[in-house]
Structures are given as structure tokens and as C-alpha cells.
Structure 1
Amino acid sequence: MKVEAVIFDMDGVIIDSEGFWQRAQIEVLAEQGIAITAEECERFTKGKRIDDIARLWCERYSLSISSPQAEEQIVTLVCAAIRREGVAMNGLEQALRSFRAAGYRLALATSSCKQIIEAVFDRLKLWDWFDVVCSADDELFGKPHPAVYSKVLHKLGLEAGECRVIEDSLNGFTAAQRAGIKTFVVAPDYDDAKFAAAFGRYASLRELVDALEPEQVY
């Protein structure tokens, strides 16, 4: 089956924002007298939807603020950080240009809410690149549930075998796998055993694009 589209995750694939998410969570919980670490954020919340993140911390530490309040505070801090200091992941422009030149449609399937998507697309000037943009925030369940990937396939009018995904988190990788889409993992821990079933594993988008010719990749 001929591949027609490449579907990107956003945080950690398109923009170097994982540190912003960790910093925001740490700051919000610190205001509640709770100390968490970046490693805990990585382990418990990476790749998850913001309501799931807020609910996890509220329930875990019985916070005095509500889950929606924690969610709003985290999103506000992350948006501000993105607009102020957000930078593209290594090789993003090369990847976008290479995939577009090869004739592939580009889509986004992110756990992030619309406010975060807007901040990222404004900061990195991405509005003209993507044919379809989907947020798990619009679905009943976030990643690792495959709903957001199913929505992207529907909007593209394509089958799973006609697409490839680029993910960086276990939650995102699991969601794409459950949707039946072959997935490239692009992440610092790309060689971890948890990603053994990936279609390909690379440290950066630049390495992915440099390693394989378009006809070999897709």
C-alpha cells in the first residue's frame, strides 16, 4: 500500500517543549507545597493530555485546587514559555521540506490543547505546513488511546497503511500502534527496549531524514 501522509506528534517532536511542561508542573505543585521532580514528570505525564496530567497530580497529592484550575495554570505557563523561548527540534525544517517535496501530506496528532497548538504554530510559523491538525483534547480519551490517530486518518481520508507516524513518547507510540500505523520513534531514548516494535528509531528528525531515502522510508 502506497504511503500518502506523515503524521507528527508535536511536543518533543516538532518543538523542544518537554522542559516547559516539566517546569510548569513543578511550579504549579510547588505553589501547593508539593515538590516533584522533572524525572517524575517524565515518568508519569510525558505524552499525556493536560486534563489527565492535572487529574493525576490532584489525586496523587490531594491538592487544594481543582483539576481544571491546575490544568489552566499549567497551560498558561507552558504557552508563555513557548511564545517566549520555544525552539524547533533539530531537523524539523529539513523534515518538513523533504516530506513535502516527496509529495506526502502532513498532519498533526497531539495530546496538547488548542492553546498550546496555536502558541507552537505561531512561534515556529507552521500554519502553512499541515493539511490536518488534530488534538486529543477533542477526543473522549487521550493518548495512549488511539482516538486522536483515528481522527487524523478520518480527516485525511486514508487507511492506517497509507500513513507513517513520528512520535517521541511511550504514550504516543502506543496510541499510534493501537491505531495500526507504523511509527518512527525520534527521541533521546530511541534505543530503549520499550520502542523495540518501532518501524525505525532515531535520535533526531535530521537523522531520520538523512538515514533513509523517501522511497525507502515510506
Structure 2
Amino acid sequence: MKSFAFWSILCLFYACTLDNNLKTIDSPNAPIKVLINKPELEKLQLKRTEALNVGKLFKGKNDWVSALITHEDKSIRAKVRLKGDLSDHWRHEKEWSLKVKLDGDKSIYGMNRFALQRPSTRGFLNEWYLHKLLSSAGLIALKYDFIEISINGDLLPVYAIEENIHKNLPNRHNRGKGVLFKFNGDFYWRHKPGLATSFYGARITPFQEKKVKKDQVLLN
């Protein structure tokens, strides 16, 4: 109960101070600089234009472009792509949500794959608060925080950095190897009557289902 009260008070404090157009924050997290050369940036811009025309981002294997991520005194080669099904992630001229995967076993804050996005796409503090509550309850939670970010030298408003779900996530929370499940969004995009906006009608499927089906340990 004390832990819950602590995070509740802290959340209210942040809610009074966080602005989605804030350029800097008093944070121990070092800024992240993303550098994307012109040809690769043009690929992202083309993908964004396609998404704007149809109102949804359709993801493909060829969406990834090369980038260089600078953090503290390290420069790490990476692949990035646009993320987010709906336009709140990419309708702004410069403030796009990005999925990032670092080369090899390189990591930033212990994350090899993560998302960079405007806090508004995750309900401002709602997502941060959720993961703090999950963690305080001893449940599996993603790393989630706020950070300063620039893309090709342009300082953007404060972004959220969010860990991607990965196979080692249960181990980090002292769980054995197992299956992670998710609410499948197929019904939403097929516009099933009465189910399009409700997770109650969503199928529950394994995360990375194809890999799970090939893993004999998980299948048994």
C-alpha cells in the first residue's frame, strides 16, 4: 500500500510538470541522438506519405532503414522504421514514432530493441504509471521512461522510450522460459460489428507465435 501511495503521489507530480511540447527535462537519462542519411530518411518519408494517404501504417520487412544512434560516448549502428498503426504516431511533420533495433548485442539502458515515441501516443503518464504499478506488484513490466531525443540535429519535444517485448523478458523478472500472450488486433482492423473498439472480442494469441510453435520446450 505504501508503494502504491508513493507512485500515486509521484505520478501526480509528473502530471503537473510534463508538457508534450517540453524540449528538455531534468532526467538522469542521457539524450539519444539519431542520425539518418538523406537516402534512408527519404525511405521513411515515403512510407509516411503512404500511411497518410490510407490513414494507417502497413508494416513490411523492407521498412527498416540504417541509422546511427549516439548515446553518451557511444555511437551504435542501428535499424529504424516508423511505428504505430494510427496517425498520432506519424502525422506530425517531424515528431515520428520509431522502432529501433541496435546492431549485434549492443544496448542502451539494457535494451537492444525499443521504441521512441511522443508521450501522448501512450496516454502521457498512463503507460509509465502502469509499468511502475506492475513492477511494484511483482509482475512483468517493460522498461519505460522519458528522454531527450534529436533526429539529424533537430531537438524534439520530450519522448518516451519503451522496451520491446523479447524472449528474455521473463528471465529478467525471475521467471522461467514461457509463453507471452497478447490481445490480437485483427478484429479491430477487420471492423467486426460490436468488436472493433473492444479488446473483449480480441483473440488471445502468443507473442511471436511462429517462433513459439517451433520451440519444442514451449510446445511440451
Scaled by the length of structure 2, the TM-score of the pair is 0.29
Which structure: greater helix fraction?
1
Larger RCO (CA under 8 A, 6+ residues apart): 1
User: Which protein is richer in strand relative to its size?
Assistant: 2
Provide TM-score, normalisation by structure 1. Answer: 0.29
